[in-house]
Structure 1
Amino acid sequence: MSQTVETVITGPAIGTGGTRPLRLGNWAHVRPGLWLAGLFVLMLLLAAAVPHWLAPFDPLDATARQAFQPPNTLHWLGTDENGRDVLSRLIFGVRSSLFMGLAATALGLAWGTLVGLLSGLGPRWLDASLMRGIDVLLAFPDLLLALVIITFFGQGTANLILAVGIAGVPRYARLVRAQTLNVRQAGYVEAAVTLGQPQWVVVLRHILPNAIKPVLILATIGIGGTITAGAALSFLGFGAPPPAPEWGGMMAIGRSFLANAPWLVAWPALIITLTVVSISAIGRELLRRSEGKPL
């Protein structure tokens, strides 16, 4: 029978003069697909940080005589209708897509947390009022709600982030409210109230950290959804105007040339799919580990 081998790193323990083992055995059993997802996300982060290191050409450098070149040894993913390198445009588009996903998720989580806390800790009339408003927003699909919001504020990256972020508020508000109602009945919260700690201390030190912890993990999964929503809105023409290298915008322009240059749509669609799948896989693994489920 095979024996499980755990890797142990010995280092100085905090607050003691001895050592403590840091077990890495669990990571040795991570599925290969998860390692690939993590590697892909790391590549995206590198592309977002230093795109000029990875991109072989300037994403805005147009050469008409090189238009519609299929993938070749010089242009690995081909060129677009203006002769611009598709690979370079995809790499430079990583920053805007990831920033949009992270910013919209953070915005939705921040407002959702505030609404959820007020609903879970406030009087019944406030809870009922906030939840009825949340129910109305939940009646609309996220993309439709984002479209309604962006219609009022106009197009552009900042308004796109605002629209997608607000569309995610109802989901996070309900999660935070449910966690708050559960945590507020915990023994350590009752003990803190009994000891006479101020209400704001009880909320910030005991209720908020424990209520938002599982929501943060679910928000990691939600980043992929916000990236998809942002790409969809850019595809519809509500994102950054051309010639900005944006995945959704690239697909929108490429659909006009789908018959003779299918790679203009295929490559952005593939990179969006891989990004969403990779981020979702990492988020679900974090959720599985937080629940103590076996790998």
Structure 2
Amino acid sequence: MSRTSKRHIDGRYMLAAGLVGVIAASSVYASDSFATRAAAGQQQVQGAATANAQQQAQGATGANGQKLVQVAANANALQHQAKADTLNQLRLFQGTSAGYELDQPFTRAQGAVMLLRLLGLEDDAQQAAQSPVFADSAAPYWAAPYVAFTHQKGLVRGVSETAFAPDAPMTGAQFITLTLRALGYAEAEPEQASALAVTAGLLSGEQAGQLTGKTHFLRDDMVAVAYYALTTRLKSGEQTLIEKLVDTDGAVNRELALQSGLYSKPASNDPLDHIEAALRRALNESRR
């Protein structure tokens, strides 16, 4: 065996060993420049969560209790910011002129847009010449082509035969339903979204209960659901959503997907590729 080949194999084993060490230490893996921000956010979240749990165990009250609430809120914001950065780099989430606006309500029009991105159909919607069905979301409304396209495909419904209410807030159950449809669960409806999300592996029971029970479903809540969806297997079981977007649809750039840490190279006969893929899957599960 040549020295070059030996160094390559040794390097691959060192990479695998390094990934194992990362999982054992419960830290966040970042393989690239933009994912570093996400990793830093996740590490801060873990530290804040640990401090939060310790103080709660000690029965913090009064001023300390108020500080706990603030710590938890800051940790939650950092976590969602990191996920938003990853979705943004994958071209699956955009902000507004005011930034991500993660603390703002998530609207029905925004839900239609996110659904198309998760389906890899955003370009199709922009290029399609669909006649508007709803007067309140016809051109020049910014999301007119998205609403028309998703309705024509039977993916969304209006609040009536003539109105879509595009700027009305979307509920957690409604967006989880759309996300499940992107995962291949065409039968998904808001009434059973929580239970189906758990069955599909999209959310834990606690997460599903919290998100569907929220009075106000915000943009940061949407970011969390969309982020988790990327590493969730489709109903067919053949691929995760990010694998479909990269390998089947070509809607997400492969290099960007690899850099995000949410996507692994297609399977090969190299055992180290299988080890690396398994480790990445374990890391993605640990981030939830």
Larger radius of gyration: 1
TM-score relative to the length of structure 1: 0.31
More helix by share: 1
Alignment TM-score, normalising by the size of structure 2: 0.31
